[in-house]
A and B are shown apart, each in its own frame.
Chain A
């Protein structure tokens, strides 16, 4: 059992790639530029870091948040929103982020309709969103392995069966619970959403410009991406409005 834990931790530690000194110093530099109100220079460095992270398939809440702030200062609300939303997927309940994002939303022309959710759904959402995705992944895997370890012990026929059955029941329950939390969090993090980058876009009923214009969206509006076809994306809004937009006006988060 101890050995198993050791191996598990070793694998997780290995999978976190260490901070490269390079990224750290770059980040520091960009923050200083921001502090001295040299936003365009700060932006350039932040972008450079982002590129590096993308190559390594990494992400950073701080970086996305700072990028959002920088774009906000440069009055680019579409990009600001894009990065704030990206940061929100990592830490949905960060106070600074939500404050800045709410302020930004006052500048967006399209007001977002909030869909009311039930009490229990709300609680469930609060729980899974307050964990990081990686935390939930580790917890779910831990209980998943625990289930199989106990199964193995049961098969081996060497240990007290009564205790093992209890253990199996409990770890199975905890696995299902943590997996459902993990899955919800996973869906939240990798949901397909996009930000409108054009000043005004028409939303069509079919994936071509000759069909009916259903409604118009403005800069920095957030849409849910449902489907993609022939350079058009099928988008929907929280209140159920949906239609097709030219791919080029939308940037996927």
Chain B
């Protein structure tokens, strides 16, 4: 990755994120190396994912109908996706009837342009933001920065990430890779540059750190004229948007500003208000492992005399309609962004979110990102392989996305595309393999030859080998074939066939 320092003609309004583009992340096996060696990161992640896993397991076990809820969630989301055009038009009509203005964006660039224009029209130089995955995905903050508008993240973890010149590494707890003393350092150094300073004697106690964030952000909430949010759900039959949160920063951004702009992926639609009873049980228990998150806000366009009197909703495609075209792949669009899959994933727990080179890390990211972005880059081609296919993610998914099945499906797509572009080594190996295995005499001869390797090398397994074997052998030991092949052993007559035991089975038991 090249990190050319760009000259800044004007000072930035908000802390700069790390240089480079997520899409330039090297392929996954290469990118993990950087993180596996960071023992602090691994300790932070082990502690955090372990805690949240235990909480989730406890509160999901409390509900006797949990499995029925998951099935209902799956069915409602399937129903929505399979008739998305109908529901989106219904949603738009209801939003407009309730005083909201609806905008449609095909791409990230178009969504950013719409938001920037709306913000500029208000003549403001800053906005407050509720944590939102889709605005991360379209990199809205940087688009606003380029237009001379400061976007302040108000979720505690997003604030830690923003002030830390960092990127989120988790969709629910974006600063999961940071521990309390790192957070304290960031607050002490950075808060004073962008607003109210942290107290000089700030401790690393989480309540004190949360208190510093409260004081730092309060003045920003009080003066903000424009708020920007996402939404967890959009209800087609009423035009209601729903934001689920914990800290109250969401309520602040949704209520205090005069103008509210909600940027939402089109797949966030649900058909009816009643459907919320399913998702508002599934989501909090799966994500934070609570019976209910502290605050849930529901609003329907403009409420006269209460909250923002100018309400915009930007409906974002940015690759989602492409995902929808694949009947297997489209199951990933059921995702409600709970993060249970990454919390339970043995790969995520060890490497963290940054290795995935996407705002959506972990198992869901490995199937969603290459579908949204396509598989042109090295990282996107490798993401479907960022898994041992253990299946724990599918077991915890509240909308029953068969993640391992989708990983295999995406691997297939990557291989097919590669084959189309350059029918290279893999195909040659398969052809040679097919020729050898096509006749018993050829196979026997190769077995004999391979058996000799053990004697020559005086080893019973192979460690890392040079390319082209390196992708396999760098991560695994390759056992050498035994000195005598099965065929030879069988022919030799020494076979003491275990299936035809001379002793009666009963007597063989201890």
Q: Do A and B bind each other?
A: no
- Residues of A with Cβ closer than 8 Å to B? none
- Residues of B with Cβ closer than 8 Å to A? none
